[in-house]
Amino acid sequence: MTTQTTSPQTPAKEPAGSTAGLIGIPPNIGRALATGGGILTIISTFLAWTWTSAFPGDLTFYGYPGGLQVLVLIGGALTTLFGLSSYGVKGLRWLTPAGADSAIKLAALAAFATAWYTIIAISSKLGGLANLEPGGWVVAVATLAALVGSLSLPFQRPAPDPYDPDDTAWEQFRHQRRYDVTVVKAAFASGTTKAPAHKLPAYAEILVIVAALALGLTVFTYGIGTEYDEQFIGFLITAGLGFAAAAKAGLVNRLSALTSKHRNVTMIGAFVAAAAFPFTQSDDQYATIGVYILIFATVALGLNIVVGLAGLLDLGYVAFLGVGAYTAAMVSGSPSSPFDIHLPFWASALLGAAVAMVFGVLIGAPTLRLRGDYLAIVTLGFGEIFRITVLNMDGTSGPDITNGSNGISSIPNLNILGFDFGQEHSIAGFTIARFANYFLLMLLITLVVVIVFRRSGDSRIGRAWVAIREDETAALAMGINGFRVKLIAFALGAALAGLAGSVQAHVTYTVTPEQYQFAHVVPPNSAFLLAAVVLGGMGTISGPLVGAALLYLIPAKLQFLGDYQLLAFGLALVLLMRFRPEGLIPNRRRQLEFHEEAEAPTVLSKAGA
């Protein structure tokens, strides 16, 4: 059986197991064309693309890129770096541990798509191709040449990931050994006899993680701060295809290996990077989006316990967010509340989590003996029952508790130990406003939820959840009390959602029944929460956080599409699930479920060796 793996490529000889590209150009010529096109793309971004500043971003300058040119520059730089790495350039081979050819294709496509989108937008907005300057024509030819050259490269299978957080130490050792054998075989097949690269020292690995977190903060800040519609669409194209290129090159797997090895450092660094976000903003506009993203992400992480770990399909989870929000609103001192109570925040937050947990137990106790679609239908019904109940508690259709469709309004800002979250404050010379204050508070809540998720997943009950998810019948046969285990997951997930809801009530000033529907244009809602978990990666910590950030940010930025907003958003989700069904940041078990046919030949051949 032939092992289809990747290795450091040399232009003179293709690795064993590779197949022909899409066009008939020899791979060596195609690689040179792609690399040269990438270099020319970089040069073209320093030229003027149009003669007038009427197009957003002002692409009329020579000497430095601006607007969409920056995104094309990134695509061209990735194409060039991956191309040079395929030639074995010293110091760049670490960029492509799983092979460069597929990464070159995606990087060239990113530069081509962004550049040609810009050219089409210029022509459409300004009235024809006559408005292009020489730089616009150069980038069109350069990106097309790079794409054509990349399509001649062979298709290759990436090497498996050497680490996985879900593996035991023995499984990680065995997988690392198989990975090293694969790389050595591929090196001999490609005409090189170099052994796998030596492991980095611990401090260097930590520096790589810090650099990756800083890059993530930069990308998020750039995306959330895009000034015009064309720039955000170009950002989506470049960021999406750039991430895919990094994944094909093996950089994502390599980074996952480092983060799983230094989990505490990664978690602390991630939250430090997130805490720095409000200080990168000049006003409170984007901090508003940031705090809503954190609320959405925290609730999605709580749902990940129910769906990702325990395997229970819950379509009414947003109701627990509403329970926490209404509970906190009623005891916040709001004049709309029927109770003349004003508890401190810590008490209202704990009360919101406790009431949501009680509702989770009350709903889960009679329904968790159901499985699959039946359980999903019951939970969907609970979500609608909650919304209709609070809608009818208006003093006319029922008791006067929630003010019906008007909700509970005028919820006061939090004041914790004299720190008023509704006022501006100066910290280390930076001024942070209301939403930035709530962003930092919500970040602490998110940290608590992450710690709870991590400790629960690593515990005995967490392993029982995974066993129930994988095969409930087998888990019951092994002595696991399935009903009790699922009820704990349901209650814990509900409590975390209630905790996030207690902060949401103060951030939004008002809680109304319309905020907690199954499907709604603006997240969070049950449909978007479930999509965030599946899109990001079920059963992981970072997956739902990333998925929730994307699912909140993209619709907020696509409002200019009007009625076509959800259509474009839906198409993007379909494409993502088609090409990466395991999610953006999956664990290895789920990755193997979707790509078993790609991994099996490699593993079998190595076992046979």
pLDDT 10s digits, 436-474 = 888 889 999 999 889 888 888 888 998 999 898 888 888
The proportion of the chain whose per-residue pLDDT surpasses 90, expressed as a percent, equals 20
Last residue of a domain, one of 466, 486, 517: 517
609 pLDDT more than 90: no
| CB atoms near residue 160 (< 10 Å) | 23
Residue-level pLDDT at 267: 87
Q: Within this chain, do residues 330 and 453 fall inside the same structural domain, yes or no?
A: yes
| Nearest Cα residue to 553 out of 569, 533, 542 | 569
| Same domain for 248 and 324 | no
Residues 249 and 295 in one domain: no
The pLDDT tens digits for 475-520 are 888 888 888 999 999 999 999 999 999 999 988 888 888 888 876 6
Instruction: Spell out the long-range contacts of 372-380 with Cβ–Cβ below 8 A and sequence spacing 24 or more.
Output: 372/313, 373/313, 375/312, 375/313, 375/314, 376/313, 376/314, 376/315, 377/315, 379/313, 379/314, 379/315, 379/316, 379/317, 380/315, 380/316, 380/518, 380/526
Predicted TM-score (pTM) of this structure = 0.78
Kindly state whether residue 357 falls inside one of the protein's structural domains.
yes
Number of domains into which the chain is organized = 2
In a shared domain, residues 186 and 313: no
In a domain, 429, yes or no: yes
Domain match, 241 and 342 both: no
- Looking at the DSSP bridge assignments, the partners of residue 427 are 430
**Which pair of tokens denotes residue 107?**
């990087």
Domain that holds residue 361: 283-517
One domain for residues 244 and 319: no
Distance between CA atoms of 103 and 241, rounded to whole angstroms? Answer: 9
Residue 322 shares a structural domain with residue 443? yes
Q: How far apart are CA 456 and CA 479, in angstroms?
A: 20
Confirm if 15 and 155 have CB atoms less than 8 A apart. Answer: no
> Where does a domain end: 463, 498, 517?
517
- The answer to whether residue 59 sits within a structural domain is yes
Residues 302 and 250 in one domain: no
In a domain, 336, yes or no: yes
Q: 406 lies in a domain?
A: yes
CB atoms within 10 A of CB 26: 11
Query: Per-residue pLDDT tens for 53-77?
Result: 888 888 888 888 888 999 999 999 9
Report the alpha-carbon distance of residue 136 to residue 60 in Å, rounded. 10
Residue 342 sits at φ, ψ, to 5 deg, of: -135, 90
Q: Side chain identity at 7, as an amino acid letter?
A: S
From 517, 537, 571, the end of a domain falls on 517
If asked whether residues 296 and 422 sit together in one domain, one would say yes
| Residues 466 and 424 reside in one and the same domain | yes
Q: Write down the pLDDT at residue 586.
A: 75
Considering the domain architecture, whether residues 168 and 310 belong to the same structural domain is answered as: no
**Residues 342, 236 share a domain:** no
